[in-house]
Structure 1
Amino acid sequence: MTPRFTQALLLAAQAHEGQCRKGTSIPYIVHPVGVAGLVARYEGDEDLQIAALLHDVLEDAGPHYEDRIAHFGERVLRVVHGCTDGVPDATGQKADWKERKTTYLEHLRDADVDTLLVSGCDKLYNALSIQEDLLEVGMGVFARFKAGREGTLWYYGELAKIFSERSCPVGPALSAVVDGLHQLAS
């Protein structure tokens, strides 16, 4: 890795400082680092690994980070935008969950391959986390999500279909994990 990767890691850590994974005490920064690891595993280059580190910055820390992300290049910024399903408004609110997710699913049907890989790794990481939590915590894990059990399973099922249909390298792994989620949640 080059110093660019380290700089991106620092920016992600600053942007997510004080944030935790939904419903846990796990520092949020472990998520983008894990997604970057999956991108590397699926042979994404340094730009895509950097985009993975920064993929939630606009969504979770705000649009004022855009110029700092642009410092890493147009490709990184494009992928970060492509992985963002909603930026908070001036009051910190996002659009309705179902509306954002439906729009994002439609976006993925035509997204470029770079965005598809980073987004797929993000969704795989999240699905694996849900799977682990189902095994450890049980069905209560779904209380963490606005959409509850049904909405969460619907969304990940739709994601798995799209990533598989688009022949994204993470598609088979995501499909397998989503199948496991359905089994554990039934």
Structure 2
Amino acid sequence: MLTTLVERAIEFAARAHQGQVRKGTDIPYISHPYAVGMILLDAGCDDEVVAAGILHDTLEDTDATYEELVRKFGQRVADIVLGCSEPDKTLSWEERKDHTINSLKTASRDVRMVACADKIHNVRSTLRAIEAEGEEAVWRRFKRGKEPQEWYFRQLIESLKEREPFPLLQTLEQEVARLFGPPSSG
């Protein structure tokens, strides 16, 4: 059942992401934050974590501010969203991904859960796109291609394993294996 907090997060995210689409598609972007929230809801997360999942890209990809999130959704939600955001979009892809990998090693369980749900949905979206359009067409959407994406997702998993495990991490590992194959033992 949706709570007032979650409903307000849905409405805020819908307005904030209005007009945005998923990379290389015409799919409204808001489908992604909603899906992340539903993954967290299915995993039994509390309302604040679900709301943060729905809002997770607002600081990074919209005009929303941290202060605005604190005011509208509270400190915990705003801190989770901040913990899931890349601090400087002007950095190179490699620098931004290194930051994410390193920050998740010591992040709170809440931030790690939202980041994991985000990546689960990204992998599932990529798998669906490959089924519909073919692998070559899909990987062309990514500036760095398939191999760097594989490196990034596998490093994220290792980062998320640095602290106590949680059920969504196993789901992410399974989805990454579906996309890239089992991890190499070397």
With the length of structure 1 as denominator, give the TM-score of the two structures: 0.90
Residue in 2 that maps onto 1:183: 181
Q: CA deviation at 1:165?
A: 4.5
Residue in 2 that maps onto 1:113: 109
Residue in 1 that maps onto 2:55: 54
Q: Distance in 2 between matches of 1:35 and 1:50?
A: 10
For structure 2, list consecutive stretches of 5 or more residues without a partner in the other structure. Answer: none
Residue in 2 that maps onto 1:91: none
Bigger drift between 163-172 and 16-25 goes to 163-172
**Offset from partner CA, 1:24-75 (integer Å, 9 cap, x none):** 100011100000000111111000011011100010013x432321121110
Contact 2:120 2:172 in 1 (8 A): yes
- SS in structure 1 of the partner of residue 45 of structure 2: coil
**Shift >4 Å, 4+ stretches:** none
Residue in 2 that maps onto 1:16: 17
Q: CA deviation at 1:163?
A: 2.7
Contact 2:88 2:96 in 1 (8 A): no
Residue in 1 that maps onto 2:133: 137
Contact 2:66 2:82 in 1 (8 A): no
Aligned ranges 1:1-150 → 2 under 5 Å:
1-62=2-63, 64-70=64-70, 71-88=72-89, 94-139=90-135, 140-150=137-147
Q: What percent of counterpart residues are identical?
A: 35
- SS in structure 2 of the partner of residue 144 of structure 1: coil
Equivalenced residue count is: 178
Contact 2:40 2:53 in 1 (8 A): yes
CA RMSD of aligned residues (A): 1.6
For structure 1, list consecutive stretches of 5 or more residues without a partner in the other structure. Answer: 89-93
- SS in structure 1 of the partner of residue 73 of structure 2: coil
Contact 1:9 1:53 in 2 (8 A): yes
Q: Distance in 2 between matches of 1:10 and 1:4?
A: 10
Change (3 A) 1:137 1:183: farther
